[in-house]
Amino acid sequence: MAGAAGGLVSGLIWGGDPLESAARGAAVGAASGAAVGAVQDAKQSSAKEAPQQASENSSNELPSKEQLVAAIGEPAVDGIVALAKCDYSGALSNAQLSKTASEPHYQEAGVWLEALSYAETGDVEKLNASYAEIIKLDKKVSNVLEVQTELSDSLSKLKKIRTQYNLPESCS
C-alpha cells in the first residue's frame, strides 16, 4: 500500500496517473510501485524540478523505496500511508514534518497531504486555508479551481487504492 499511496502524492507533484503507476508496480512490491510513478512523472517534468536520483534512473529499472523517499520525503510517504489507513492524525503529523523540510518537493508533498486530509475529514475551513499554500508551492496549479480539481481527482484515486488493498473506501 505504501507504493500505491506514495504514487498518489508523487502524481500530484509531478503529474501523470499515480494509480496506473502504482498498479503497474504493485506486482513487484508496493514501495516500488509508487517510486515507479514518481520517477516516470519526474522524467516528464523539467530537469531542475525533478530529483536528481529520479532523473538518472532508466525507465526499465524499478526504483527502490529509498528513491521514493528521496522524491517526496519519508514523512510524506508515511503520511499518505496513514491517510490511506484513515489515520488522519498520523497523516497530518507527517504533513507538518514534510512542510518544514528544506527540500521544496517535500514541502509540496506536505501541503498536498495536508489538503487531502482536510478534504477527507470535511474540515472546509482548514482546506480553504491550504489553497494559497498549494498555489505558492505547486507551479502546476495557478488558482483555487485547479487545486480543487486535483484534490477531487486524488480523493477518487485514494478510494480506488483503498479498495485495491481491501480497506474501506471511505473512513466515515
Q: What is the pLDDT of residues 25-53, one digit of tens each?
A: 332 233 333 333 433 344 344 334 444 44
Give the pLDDT confidence score for residue 101 in this predicted structure: 95
Q: What is the pLDDT of residues 60-116, one digit of tens each?
A: 343 455 766 788 888 988 888 888 889 999 999 999 999 999 999 899 989 999 999
Residue 56 forms part of a structural domain: yes
Residue 12 forms part of a structural domain: yes
- Domain extent for 159: 2-164
Cβ pair 23, 8 in contact under 8 A? no
Distance (Å, whole) CA 13 – CA 49? 10
Would the pLDDT of 172 be above 80? no
Residue 169 forms part of a structural domain: no
Residue 40 forms part of a structural domain: yes
Give the mean pLDDT of the chain: 72
Give the pLDDT confidence score for residue 160 in this predicted structure: 83
Residue 131 forms part of a structural domain: yes
Cβ pair 49, 65 in contact under 8 A? no
Q: Mean pLDDT over residues 14-24, rounded?
A: 45
Give the chain's domain count: 1
Give the pLDDT confidence score for residue 153 in this predicted structure: 86
Residue 51 forms part of a structural domain: yes
Size (the chain), residues: 172
Number of H helices, E strands in the chain: 10, 0
Give the pLDDT confidence score for residue 34 in this predicted structure: 37
Residue 171 forms part of a structural domain: no
Residue 6 forms part of a structural domain: yes
